[in-house]
Structure 1
Amino acid sequence: MLLFMICGAAYSAPIAGAGSSFAAPLYRAWSDSLPPQAGLSLKYRTVGSGEGQKLVMAHKVDFGASDISLPGNILDMEGLYQFPVAIGAIVVVINVPGVGADQMRLDGSTLVALFRGDITSWNDPRIRALNPDLRLPDLDVLPVHREEASGTSQVFSDYLRTQSPSWKPGSWGEGAEARGNDGVAASVRQSIGGIGFVEYAFARRNHLNTVKLKNHSGLFVAPETAAFKSSAYSADWQHTDHYAVSLLDAVGSQSWPIMSATFVLVPVHPSDQTTASAVKAFFTYGLRRGDKALRDLDYIPMPNDVKNKILAEWP
């Protein structure tokens, strides 16, 4: 049982959230950093963005977390308020002997071929052409993708579609499936020849080798904070439908090409006002005082004007 104070009165308000694995480290960090006097804590289940959406629509959690933004007509029909809490990068990770972090360079069309199963060896001529200075082994490519309704998968798949019109949702080849960012990270780490995609914090935490990617300007960039910020701050948050901004293949010579906001969904007309107030208090704390935790986990905080707009429009 959780206690918090509103207008001097004590209320019981357990907070339950579920959804995105992309955002799970963030919510845990915010919960852990709450001061004891706040009387707030969080129980969060990492079940994937699609399931998070279903659970909040079914009123089985107090908020859903999703890296897939919902369109306005669905939000209106389901009575949900959608807002972004942070921006993160999706990176490509590999386990190729003799190739260290950010030594390999890949472009969009080569990624499509790798994940569709058209490239089956790491010494394929298309990879060698991008990496003339690397000694690439004659080693099978073992692609790994997510098995559940995943926001990370949809964002990555949407990016591949920007790079090749031949890419369709579900075009994954015969590679392995794994559950959650943690599952993909573990699978790539254990598979010699593995390649997968995860949120950057999971790559760093698991000491995985990332790759440089060719961006919209035709330059190869490494996954690092400056590149993430360049993409994140190019977005027009003030003129979008329910904050549904695309951060894929952003313009800018230093921009990282695969970025995504992560969203929260809360009921517009909650059945329990006490719990709803606790949820709002939690996210107010995170948006107002949680930027250090965000940066420590390699997310990009939302711009202050967007935070102010989110809290002003909260139903």
Structure 2
Amino acid sequence: MKRTFLKTVAVALASLAVGSAFAADITGAGATFPFPMYAKWAEAYKKETGTGLNYQSIGSSGGIRQIRAKTVVFGATDAPVPGAELDKDGMVQFPAIIGGTVPVINLDGFKPGELRVTGPVLAEIFLGKIAKWNDAKLAALNPGKTLPDQNITVVHRADGSGTTFNWTDYLSAVSKEWADSVGKGAAVKWPAASSVGGKGNEGVAANVTRVKGAVGYVEYAYVKKNNMNFLQLQNADGKYVSPDDATFAAAAASADWFSVPGMGISMVNAKGANSWPVSTASFILMYKDPADKAQSAEVLKFFDWAFKNGKQMAADLDYVPLPDSLTAEIRSKVWSQIKK
């Protein structure tokens, strides 16, 4: 009996110690799109301040659910929440990082970016209307290339996803048929007969790597991390471009962030000769009147530090950091609404 009691006390004390050790850590959940960036920022921030970040990479829809349930201090989403919903929930929203979503393929015999595709043809692939890699429309865009007589398998997100929202936002912008029959959203009904789902950017990347003849869409950091093959994409100016921080930045150059409530603008199919057509921002959601004001203040300290000190880390992963002029406006116009 005595031994059991002492054991129970020891376990309780150990739990208390662990809880105390991590009491300062800030909690967030949501988009997988910015996860590589947040992980890198968090590692550097903890070394400098001792405060850690516990971020659950569960998808944008999950992040919105978690912040609404108040189980985390901030939510992260690539599908911006409309202004009316922000007002109803008593939340603010601001962009944290800019990146790009990329069509990735598993096709032997081709180097990354060697094959080209236009938006309308890409939409036909995801609609299932183009089902083989040697389809005449793909061949016409790639003269001199010998495309294989191989079935195309579409790989898509199985979870509610801001990456899917941005991808379907783009397909809706370049294809009336897609807009009319499928539309845009964090989750859609995928029409291609040969298709498979994956959870998170990680799951899509894994399935494209596994399935021969696959095509999917992932955030560019996952392309680099997994050495994936990708398609060059024709932009709104008719130029074929490859994804990187320069083409993402070009798409973001003309963004009018405060033109819509919650800064939730769309950058898909942006004008500009060097613009990547599926560029996007990832957003942070926080309460104006947070239940834990100290933790909320810690979140703002983290992002303030990241905006000031994390630019090179962002560039190393081919994300685009927000310009100083924009982060200054976020501090004065958005963070000022959060009660301390």
TM-score by length of 2: 0.87
Tell me which amino acid in the other structure corresponds to 2:278. I
Q: Count the aligned residue pairs.
A: 308
RMSD between superposed Cα atoms in Å:
1.5
Q: C-alpha displacement at 1:232, in angstroms?
A: 1.4
Choose the corresponding residue for 1:121, options 110, 127, 132.
Answer: 132
Residue 290 of structure 2: which of 254, 270, 273 is its match?
270
Runs of at least 4 residues off by over 4 Å: 1-4
Q: Is 1:132 matched up with 2:152?
A: no
Residues 35 and 45 (structure 1 numbering): CA distance in 2 closer, same or farther, change over 3 Å? closer
Judge conservation of contact 2:99–2:245 (CA < 8 Å) in 1. Answer: no
CA distance in 2, matches of 1:57, 1:102: 40
Aligned counterpart, 1:59 = 70
- Mapped to 2, the partners of 1:188 and 1:202 lie a distance apart of 12
**1:49 correspondence with 2:69:** no
Equivalent-residue separation in structure 2 for 1:2 and 1:138 (angstroms): 60
Which of 122, 135, 141 in structure 2 is aligned with 1:111? 122
Answer 1 or 2: which has greater strand percent.
1
The whole-number CA distance in structure 1 between the counterparts of 2:289 and 2:25 is 18
Q: Distance in 2 between matches of 1:239 and 1:120?
A: 40
CA contact (8 A) 1:3 1:40 kept: no
Instruction: Name the structure 1 match of 2:329.
Output: 309
One-letter identity of the residue aligned with 1:48: G
Question: Is 2:287 aligned against 1:292?
Answer: no
> Which residue number in structure 1 is paired with residue 81 of structure 2?
70
Larger Rg computed on CA atoms: 2
Counterparts of 2:42 and 2:252, CA distance in 1 = 25
Cα 1:123–1:271, aligned 2, differ >3 Å: closer, same or farther? Answer: same
> Whole-Å Cα distance in 1 between the matches of residues 86 and 294 of structure 2?
22
**Does residue 109 of structure 2 align to residue 98 of structure 1?**
yes
* Structure 2 equivalent of residue 38 of structure 1: 49
Encode CA deviations 1:238-296: one digit per residue, 9 max, x unaligned: 43322112111000111110011000001111111211111111111111211111111
- Structure 2, unmatched stretches of 5+, are 1-18
In the alignment, which residue of structure 1 is the partner of 2:97? 86
Q: 1:238–1:306: 8 Å Cα contact kept in structure 2?
A: no
Q: Secondary structure at the match of 1:81?
A: strand
1:226 pairs, out of 246, 249, 265, with 246
Identical-residue share of aligned pairs (%): 37
Q: Which has the higher helix share?
A: 2
Aligned mates of 1:191, 1:307 — CA distance in 2: 41
**Structure 1 residues 2 and 296 mapped into 2: Cα distance closer, same or farther (>3 Å)?**
farther
Aligned letter for 1:249? N
- Which amino acid letter does the alignment assign opposite residue 98 of structure 2? I
